[in-house]
Amino acid sequence: MGRIDFRGRRRHGRAPFCGVALGLLAVLGCLGPAHGSDDDESSSAGPKQPNIYLDYNTAYAIVPPNTLAIGFRNFISPIPVGSQAVMLNAPLTIDLTERFSLYGGVSAIASRSDVSPWSSMILDSWNIGFNADVISQDGITVTVISTLTRSITSAPGLGSTSNQTVVELDHALNEDETQGLLAGTRLTAVWVDSALAHVEPAYVGYLGGYYQWPNNWKLSGRFGVQTFGGARIAGGLIRAKAFTQPLLRIDLERMDDNDNRLFGATVEVSWMPEPFVQFTLRTPLYAVRN
């Protein structure tokens, strides 16, 4: 059922109306407190150019039969056989400040099923979003990540718009913020163009933690519960059942001395109720890196 995705240049690393509202809160949270505190620190740091990079990532997903897979990209309709998909995404990302980033790009996908060979790689969707630390003080950071996605190619009547928003709380356990605890929630909503298709929202709540070694390798883990209200497609001829099931995500990342991500590998397993498995590799391509 999609995935939790974190696009951070810090220690971590997305309903259109809900995303806009959270965006306004993020901008106010980032610009307001940051301008009114630590003047000496900001002046000593000197001017910095924004980080600019392609956050290139490759994902491989194993989809069980009769499973509706939704997330940042065009949703994968349920079919009675198992399938696999390879997804490429390279959004242009700009870290405007250490607490606020904007990104946007296109995704491509190739897929196969147990009864059909691999398809050609085609453009699948475009996406835009933001990553904002709305609270950051005393070792506690609250991050909002929201992405709006629109399908480019889809079956007739199955064009869709989706929004995924994550709110995560990070409580650092030491002064260097190299180890800490995580808690968060995620909402994924999909709007299908046809009145003959309806997808209920999916909600996730999770807990986790992270540890970063002196050599800047970082390991994070999150375990949670996902609730999905079900879906009907083609007037009910195709149905995805509602469920409440666990999910597990593990991230291994290589950071530089300024906490910019150099490499990332993710494994996520979501039970729906059969396991949906996704492997993701991240290799950011920097044009400007502070």
The domain ranges of the chain are: 16-288
At residue 41, does pLDDT exceed 60? no
pLDDT exceeds cutoff 70 at 165:
yes
Range of lowest pLDDT (46-50, 53-57, 101-105, 214-218):
46-50
Is 99:133 a contact under the CB 8 Å cutoff?
yes
Cβ neighbours for 225, distance < 8 A, ≥ 6 positions apart: 204, 205, 206, 244, 245, 246, 247
Q: What integer pLDDT is reported at residue 221 of this predicted model?
A: 98
pLDDT at 23: 46
Q: pLDDT value at position 80?
A: 80
Query: By percentage, how much of the chain surpasses pLDDT 90?
Result: 55
**pLDDT tens digits, one per residue of 56-114:** 999 999 988 877 776 544 556 667 888 899 999 999 999 999 899 999 999 999 989 88
Among 68, 47, 55, residue whose Cα is nearest residue 230: 68
- 25-34, 49-58, 177-186, 267-276: least confident range: 25-34
Tokens of 252: 């291994």
Contact 52, 287 (CB under 8 A): yes
Q: Is the pLDDT of residue 220 over 50?
A: yes
| Confidence label for 235 from pLDDT (cuts 50, 70 and 90) | low
pLDDT given at position 3: 39
Phi, psi of 169 (to 5 degrees): -105, 130
Q: CA-to-CA distance for 87 and 76, rounded, in angstroms? A: 12
pLDDT at 149 over 70: yes
Region 136-159: mean pLDDT is 86
Helices (H), 84-204: none
Confidence of residue 155 (pLDDT cuts 50, 70, 90): low
Region 189-206 average pLDDT: 88
Q: Report yes or no: 155 and 138 within 8 Å, Cβ to Cβ.
A: no
User: Hey, how many other C-beta atoms are within 10 angstroms of the C-beta on 17?
Assistant: 8
> How high does pLDDT run on average in the chain?
82
Across the range 251-261, mean pLDDT stands at 93
Topology of domain 16-288, CATH: Porin (2.40.160)
> Is a pLDDT exceeding 80 seen at residue 237?
no
